[in-house]
């Protein structure tokens, strides 16, 4: 929004801005913030930043937690959810003393990945298009203690409410895809989310009701650069939750909030450019894909088990990625098979639009970390010329569920638990260390933290287990 501090300071004065809100991402992808009076928006702030404790958000150890936040002026937007006029910036994390960029800042990791791409000479730009699936509920409650484990959600759209409310316009199980009002009771909410996003400078292509009957929605943006796309992920999650809360509803991007209903993914469309030319396009290639694109796909599929520890870093991720359904749990690519880990959109035929989408990820990821990791896997595939066909990764355009089990078993499978994904990352992460984009300490801390989450869930009795086994 702003090119320099003088421009930003003049705008703050002219618009009567009273508060400056500084947002940043912790290591795990949750946004944090600190708010200053507009009187503190000075050249000194840009030079020295605002101090905070990095050890509290996974960025640093307790013994050396002091860090600082410096606003990225280009990210400035008016935060429309504040009663007091507030200008919001996404921040870079820097060392408290030297003000050098902090190597573990997720945004800095993303910037290093883009810089590494340029340094290889392969391309000078990557473009990304995440898809956002989420549920809107009217009520959610949960409880976990020594003697209790429970949760309950409710949706006015759900057909389980038909007997009580009786208006007749409910969405059946798995029946929500592109339903129209009055069944689609969330079109107004989605429109408010989209208009708010556009006012906050996040472009949107479209929105619609998704498959999940009890309130599943989707929003999709145009493709944009890696850092801007990652910033957009954080803004879209924030705006969706805030707009819903204003209307007495609640939004979750959790991958599998409902048993037996569609899960929430966050597919990542991606391609790379050099001097404005899409390197993924070849009019004579499979799905219009070039050899470079195929090598990129080969890298993604070769490293997919390890990637999932970063792109699907929650135990709930693997409630969605269940083998035997149409979940993207199979390591192959295809132009039409939605159980494939990588799909080549048939509708993207313009030379600038040809791309692929990596389908396993979900919104529990840190977008900066996840996109950086996917880009590094793709670069590794290009550098090593990994041929996905020779490696057994397809293409497969058949319905693999019509295959006999022994033939399906020949397809490389993705991890089925967070623990398995962490083990895969432990065994395969050298590709992330290239160009010093990631570092060994961050990867090991990630594995340690996520393994702890895996065991924390594994050790707790499940409510369904009580039903199954209590009387044995």
Share of the chain above pLDDT 70, in %: 99
Number of domains in the chain: 2
pLDDT of residue 400: 82
Distance between CA atoms of residues 325 and 113, nearest Å: 34
42 and 134 both lie in a single domain = no
CATH code of the domain in which 67 resides? 3.10.20.70
Q: Does 294 map to a domain?
A: yes
159 and 250 both lie in a single domain = yes
93 and 148 both lie in a single domain = no
218 is catalytic: yes
Lowest-pLDDT choice from 48-57, 319-328, 356-365 = 319-328
CB 203 within 8 A of CB 239: no
Distance between CA atoms of residues 169 and 176, nearest Å: 12
Q: Cα-flanking dihedrals φ and ψ of residue 383, to 5°?
A: -60, -40
335 and 389 both lie in a single domain = yes
**pLDDT over 90 (residue 285):** yes
**pLDDT over 60 (residue 63):** no
194 pLDDT tier (thresholds 50, 70, 90): very high
410 is catalytic: no
397 and 451 both lie in a single domain = yes
Determine how many CB atoms are found less than 10 A away from the CB of residue 435: 15
CATH code of the domain in which 229 resides? 3.30.590.10
| HEC assignment per residue over 241-271 | HHHHHHCCCEEECCCCCCCCCCCCCCCEEEE
Distance between CA atoms of residues 233 and 144, nearest Å: 29
359 is catalytic: yes
Q: Which of 224, 390, 360, 371 is nearest to 295 (CA)?
A: 390
- pLDDT of 101-147, one tens digit each? 999 999 999 999 999 999 999 999 999 999 999 999 999 999 999 99
Of 69, 102, 135, the position where a domain reaches its end is 102
- pLDDT of 418-465, one tens digit each? 999 999 999 999 999 999 999 999 999 999 999 999 999 999 999 999
Spot the catalytic one: 114, 357, 362, 380: 357
Q: Does 108 map to a domain?
A: no
63 and 135 both lie in a single domain = no
Of 73, 102, 131, the position where a domain reaches its end is 102
pLDDT of residue 402: 79
Lowest-pLDDT choice from 12-26, 45-59, 78-92, 201-215 = 45-59
Spot the catalytic one: 105, 114, 133, 261: 133
357 is catalytic: yes
131 is catalytic: yes
Instruction: Give the CA radius of gyration of the chain.
Output: 23
Distance between CA atoms of residues 321 and 233, nearest Å: 21
- pLDDT of 394-420, one tens digit each? 999 888 877 888 888 888 889 999 999
Spot the catalytic one: 267, 271, 295, 454: 267
Tracing tokens 């002091």 back to the chain, one arrives at: 66
**pLDDT over 90 (residue 299):** yes
- pLDDT of 244-257, one tens digit each? 999 999 999 999 99
Q: Does 113 map to a domain?
A: no
315 and 448 both lie in a single domain = yes
128 and 28 both lie in a single domain = no
Spot the catalytic one: 174, 338, 350, 460: 338
Q: Does 388 map to a domain?
A: yes
CB 211 within 8 A of CB 174: yes
Spot the catalytic one: 40, 53, 326, 441: 53
201 is catalytic: no
- pLDDT of 227-284, one tens digit each? 999 999 999 999 999 999 999 999 999 999 999 999 999 999 999 999 999 999 999 9
168 and 51 both lie in a single domain = no
125 and 211 both lie in a single domain = yes
DSSP one-letter string for 274-308: ETTEETTB-TTSGGGB-HHHHHHHHHHHHTHHHHH
With 0-12 / 13-18 / 19 or more C-beta atoms within 10 angstroms meaning exposed / middle / buried, residue 151 is exposed
417 and 384 both lie in a single domain = yes
Q: Domain containing 383: what range?
A: 119-469
Q: Which of 206, 191, 235, 207 is nearest to 1 (CA)?
A: 235
Q: Does 95 map to a domain?
A: yes
Q: Does 109 map to a domain?
A: no
210 is catalytic: yes
């Amino acid at each position: 929004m702003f090119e320099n501090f003088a421009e930003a300071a003049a705008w703050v004065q002219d618009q009567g801005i009273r508060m400056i809100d500084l947002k940043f991402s912790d290591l795990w992808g949750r946004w944090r913030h600190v708010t200053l009076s507009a009187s503190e928006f000075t050249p000194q702030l840009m030079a020295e930043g605002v101090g905070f404790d990095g050890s509290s958000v996974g960025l640093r150890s307790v013994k050396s937690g002091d860090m600082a936040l410096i606003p990225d002026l280009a990210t400035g937007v008016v935060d429309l959810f504040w009663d007091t006029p507030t200008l919001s910036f996404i921040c870079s994390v820097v060392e408290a003393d030297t003000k050098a960029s902090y190597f573990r800042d997720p945004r800095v990791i993303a910037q290093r990945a883009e810089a590494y791409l340029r340094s290889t000479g392969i391309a000078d730009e990557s473009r990304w298009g995440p898809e956002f699936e989420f549920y809107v509920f009217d009520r959610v409650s949960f409880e976990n203690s020594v003697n209790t484990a429970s949760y309950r959600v409710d949706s006015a759209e759900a057909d389980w409410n038909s007997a009580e409310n009786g208006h007749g316009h409910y969405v059946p199980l798995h029946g929500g895809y592109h339903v129209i009002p009055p069944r689609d009771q969330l079109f107004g909410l989605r429109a408010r989310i989209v208009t708010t996003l556009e006012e906050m400078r996040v472009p949107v292509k479209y929105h619609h009701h998704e498959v999940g009957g009890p309130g599943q929605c989707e929003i999709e943006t145009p493709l944009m650069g890696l850092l801007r796309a990652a910033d957009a992920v954080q803004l879209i999650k924030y705006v969706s939750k805030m707009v819903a809360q204003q209307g007495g509803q609640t939004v979750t991007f959790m991958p599998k909030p409902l048993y037996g209903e569609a899960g929430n993914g966050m597919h990542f469309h991606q391609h790379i450019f050099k001097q404005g030319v899409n390197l993924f396009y070849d009019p004579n290639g499979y799905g219009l894909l070039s050899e470079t694109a195929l090598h990129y796909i080969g890298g993604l599929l070769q490293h997919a088990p390890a990637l999932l520890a970063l792109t699907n870093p929650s135990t709930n991720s693997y409630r969605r990625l269940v083998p035997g359904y149409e979940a993207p749990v199979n390591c192959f690519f295809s132009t039409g098979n939605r159980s494939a880990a990588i799909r080549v959109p048939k509708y993207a035929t313009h030379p600038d639009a040809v791309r692929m989408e990596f389908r396993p990820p979900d919104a529990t990821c840190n977008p900066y970390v996840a996109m950086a990791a996917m880009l590094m896997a793709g670069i590794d595939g290009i550098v090593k010329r990994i041929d996905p066909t020779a490696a057994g990764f397809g293409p497969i355009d058949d319905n693999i569920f019509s295959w006999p089990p022994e033939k399906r078993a020949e397809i490389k499978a993705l991890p089925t638990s967070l623990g398995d994904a962490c083990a895969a990352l432990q065994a395969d992460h050298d590709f992330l260390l290239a160009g010093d984009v990631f570092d060994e300490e961050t990867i090991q801390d990630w594995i340690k933290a996520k393994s702890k989450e895996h065991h924390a869930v594994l050790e707790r009795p499940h409510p369904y287990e009580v039903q199954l086994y209590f009387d044995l």
